[in-house]
């Protein structure tokens, strides 16, 4: 199978965005597939290799979203799964705003 490349703007805001739990799930999902993944921000890249380093990096980002780039045999499939997860989180946040309020 040919190498595939896909990218996603991952929301980092509290309502429907990347919480610690979602960040861990994202990391685990990436590690299970045959893909390299990295975050891209202002021309620099951060490879997703270690969970603690990834969480630390994400905690320093001060934007509402960050670009996630996927490269490899499963990139398109993984892209679809991540997009579905993001859309579900955003839908849940709209339908149940009291559950997603952060202080």
CATH at residue 70: 3.30.1340.10
Q: What is the pTM of this model?
A: 0.83
Q: Which two tokens stand for residue 103?
A: 């202080």
Beta bridge partners of 71: 5, 36
Number of domain units in the chain: 1
Nearest CA to 86 out of 8, 7, 32 is that of 8
pLDDT of residue 89: 80
Tokens 């709209």 sit at which residue?
A: 94
The total number of residues shown for the chain amounts to 103
Residue ranges, the chain, pLDDT below 50:
102-103
Tokens 């996603």 sit at which residue?
A: 8
| C-beta atoms surrounding 100 within 10 Å | 18
Q: Which domain holds residue 17?
A: 4-100
DSSP 3-state of 41 = strand
């Amino acid at each position: 199978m040919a190498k595939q490349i896909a990218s996603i703007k991952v929301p980092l805001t509290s309502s429907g965005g990347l919480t610690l739990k979602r960040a861990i799930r994202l990391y685990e999902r990436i590690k299970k597939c045959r893909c390299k993944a990295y975050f891209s921000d202002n021309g620099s890249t951060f490879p997703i290799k270690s969970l603690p380093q990834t969480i630390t990096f994400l905690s320093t980002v001060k934007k509402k979203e960050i670009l996630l780039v996927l490269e490899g045999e499963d990139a398109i499939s993984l892209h679809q799964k991540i997009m579905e997860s993001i859309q579900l989180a955003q839908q849940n946040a709209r339908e149940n705003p009291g559950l997603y309020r952060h202080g």
